Structure 1
Amino acid sequence: MVDISNNTLSGGLPASLSSIVGLQILDASLNQFTGPIPESFGRLVSMNKLVLGGNSFTGSIPKSLGECSSLQLLDLSNNQLSGTIPDELCRIEGLDIALNLSRNELTGEIPDKISALNKLSILDLSYNKLEGSLTQLGSLENLVTLNVSNNNFTGFLPDNKLFRQLSAGDLDGNQGLCTHGGDVCFENHTLSASIDEVKRIHKLKLVIALLITMTVAMVLGMVGIIRAKRFGGRKGREDEDSELGGEMSWPWQFTPFQKLNFSVEQVVRSLIDANVIGKGCSGVVYRVNMDNGDVIAVKKLWPNTNSMVTTKEEANSNKVRDSFSAEIRTLGSIRHKNIVRFLGCCWNKSTKLLMYDYMENGSLGGLLHERNGFSLEWDLRYQIILGAAQGLAYLHHDCVPPIVHRDIKANNILIGLDFEAYIADFGLAKLVEDGDFGRSSTTVAGSYGYIAPEYGYMMKITEKSDVYSYGVVVLEVLTGKQPIDPTIPDGLHVVDWVRRRKVSLGVLDPSLHGRPESEIEEMLQALGVALLCVSPTPDERPTMKDVAAMLKEIRTEREEYAKVDVLLKGSSTSVNDNNNGGSSNNGSFSSSSSSKVRLPF
């Protein structure tokens, strides 16, 4: 491993590095290297991670990199590379973690051969000058993160689950790309990549529909009248069932984990588009109003090819094989004030539903970034990060076996009515069985920007991976910036940005400036805790139990100091009333106030 990242090295990157036999990791990111990327790097056939982002490399992407058959992660972002994306990159069969070519000056179309990278999990092509369609990306079935914003792409979107989940920010900045037309923006076998063709086919379908309607109008009218009289109120339920894709036709199984006063039928009939409040990697979330006035959140999981777990024996043997069984085994066994309350689950042959308490204040990410004109006070932010730390500490230290969440991020921390924090979304959770600790993962765990650095080259998950992700969340709370934020210069990650600026007032959210000195000191101490959590080496990160203790100590320190201050004032008053022995008491309290406890950073 050669790691020379985050320095001020300049000039050309030495081609002699290619002579290091067996080199597996080369990280030269965040320097000032210039000139072309050496063609000789193609000889590094054992290399599995090449990170050259955040420099000033010019010229084209070397075709020889296609010879690096073991490469799993390639990051050339934030340079001045030009030309097209070479077809040769698409020959790297092992490229399964990430390909980041963002913030360069690349031109041309996405290579047709990119479909060969069918193991790739993360692809970032944003902020280039690429053009053409995105059709080639439709066959990348294992992609979980994609960003093609700020290019010159045109046409329609591939019709698959990933593209239907993409946020507007991942597609913005492509004037010729259809992104706001609903279903009409997605390609399928009946729609072509031309708006005129879409209109023509639509008109043809309309004519056919009218002819069929006219032919059978009278028959259907008579049948409709008879059915309306015979079945009455059933029509409303049949319409709802139609919108749900016929899911009511299958029998349901229901497993409650709390005392519930509603039925499966009440839940299912509310799963309509108008009630959708969010979408994630594991499913769609609905806000459901019960007949008794209760409001719950229901997650409808994406279809999975794995068979349904129906018995306890099968659940034990499958070992949390998909997101459904993972959440059931995890949420059904835990109880904590900072873990979202799991109400129950129900499923049938085609659908799997998970039910939770509904949080009116949404997620921490929504509070921080989506509410214009709204700013969280420091006391609320402190309460939230402390609650989240205590919830994670419970999962890591009080559950047997321990539970690793694997997807800690601001959007997975829900906020209650009193701004208490609740850890949510266990779609990726893993039980750390004996002998299974820190095992390699076959699926990408976590969300872009929150993933611990060791996962990129070791593909292993431990509790310390959660600690890193939690540290990123705390930095997000303190700075008001997302992990990958467009307002951060040079495309830096928030962790690197804070490290460069040191632990100073300048990194805090501007809305927190002007707070009392005691609160500012608490924020800077919390910032120190966050930097401990995002240490590059997992062993240097504290446990979540220690993190929670350090955060509590911050507030305890402030409260103790306030008590001392009150006693000082009381002592001063006593001196004025009684001059005998007052000076020695006042000196004693002054000595106590000067011994203020500091955290070790």
Structure 2
Amino acid sequence: MPVNPWTLFFSLLIFSFSLLIPSFAVNRQGESLLSWKRSLNGSLVAEVLNNWDPTNETPCRWFGITCNSRMEVVELNLRYVDLFGNIPSNFSSLLSLNKLVLSGTNLTGSIPKEIAVLQNLIFLDLSDNALTGEIPSEICSLFNLQQLYLNSNRLVGSIPVEIGNLTSLVWLILYDNQLSGGIPSSIGNLKQLEVIRAGGNKNLEGPLPQEIGNCSNLVMLGLAETSISGFLPPSLGLLKKLETLAVYTALLSGQIPPELGDCTTLKNIYLYENSLTGSIPSSLGNLKNLQNLLLWQNNLVGTIPPELGNCTELLVIDISMNSLTGSIPVTFGNLSSLQELQLSFNQISGQIPTEIGNCRSLTHIELDNNQISGTIPSEFGNLGNLTLLYLWQNRLGGNIPSSISLCRNLEAVDISQNALTGPIPKGVFELQNLNKLLMLSNNLSGEIPPEIGKCSSLIRFRSSDNKLTGSIPPQIGNLTNLNFLDLGSNRITGVIPLDISRCRNLTFLDLHSNSIAGNLPSNLNQLVSLQFVDVSDNLIEGTLSPSIGSLNSLTKLVLSKNRFSGPIPSQVGSCWKLQLLDLSSNELTGQIPASVGKIPALEIALNLSWNKLSGEIPAEFTALDKLGVLDLSHNQLSGDLQYLAELQNLVVLNVSYNDFKGLVPDTFLLLKASVERPGWQPVSVLFRQPMRHRQGRLLQARHRRRGWR
């Protein structure tokens, strides 16, 4: 029967129009996802998820969605999209999902127990959100789960004991939450587990269960910054694949189990900041792959096992802050890859082995605060990569080896508090990267070499309490980065060079107890960053320049025990940050400037004693209500003490050996009433006869010390 051409035409026309009419037949998977999208509050959700189109038949082409060949959603990955909402609780249409990644999406609320319906889930990442509540035990019924990331949330409660049901689990990441309770012994059921990280849960407590030894595939065990306590179980020795053991900043006690030496794949041992006792097991010498051994701040005793010299892959040894004794093993010379050797704050004795010079990869040597004797090995000159050398507070003697100048990368040297002798090697100052050189409290002699001017990176130079002679070289002015110069308690002569004014970053200048003469440099006011100046106990003379008022960053100015003469310049009051001003034991004359009483920060001490000052105490002194120590003794001051009556924070007041007259202020006499009050400090009040109505030359009382530093 022939087909009517008009019928064929209209059929084709209707079919064509049907292609243009949008379909609203998105499947149930898409409906569930769109319903969740509508609940989200993120400002960029509409933009980022703009292709989540309800007119599509399936969500398989939507952003973050992956489907299998049957058009079933198998992956939802919206990592670091700002969703701002809750985890969906209706997963019934997404039963084929095997990967769910919602990390860093600003999710809140709790983990819904309905997640347990996703029985095909292999990978679950909800990390880096603000999730609260407990880990639902229902999550432990996801028997196919291999990787679980719940870290960096606000989860509370304990790790579910049912965690042992996840026998396929390979990665368990729970760190940085607020979890409490103990590590369940059921963890030992997880035979496939390679990584467990639960650190940063400060209330996670109790011992590490011995069943952990059943996790035979474990590579990483991280329980740092928790309250895990008790002994490390010997069963750790069964973990033949373990590479990293990190249980630092916890409450571990007892000994390090010797069985740890059986974990021959170990690369990193981080057990610092605990209360471990006993000695370091010699069996650790079996760990040929060990790279980092960090045991600092424990209660370890005994000697350092020489077997550690067998761990030739070691990069860092830090066993500082213990009670280790004995000497540094000669075998450490075998550690050709070693970069950091940190043994400080122990009771190590003996000499530094010359074999350390073989460790040519060393960048840090920290042996300070021990009882090490002998000399600094000249072999240190072989350490071309060395950047930091700390040997302070030991019993080292002999000269500083000139070979130290071969360590071209040195940045910081501290050899203070030893018994070193001889001169400072000139070559040290040719180290272009050296920024800190500390040599305090030795027996160093000789002059500061002019080569110091070549040390252009130097920031801190401290060589006080030695026997240095000669003058301060003018080349010191080349050190434009110098921030801290401390040469006190030496035998330095000459004058302070004018060139010091070129050290524009100088904040700390201490030249006390030398034999420096001449005047204070007239251009000292150019050092506008100065905060601390102490040139006391020298032979400096001349008058104090009014330009001192330009140093308005000064907090402490000590010029005592010199030969300064003339008046105190009123401009000193411009140093408004001054907390301590000591001009005592000079030959200053004239009146005390009223501006001194206007220094608002003056709270530690004001000492103008042993001068030739005259006149009365300025009325402005009533404002010094934070001051702790005031010494005006041994001058020619007159008048009365009325302007001191309001200084309620004084710990020491000495106005003896002046010509004061009149009544002692009642406030000084009433101090006796507070003798028994807790937390108050003794106040010494000294007067000198013939003061009228004197109530005693020495009054002892107690007074609150608020402004004292």
TM-score range relative to shorter protein: 0.3 to 0.5
Higher relative contact order (CA 8 A, sep 6+): 1
Which structure features the higher share of helix residues? 1
TM-score (norm: length of structure 2): 0.29
Which structure features the higher share of strand residues? 2
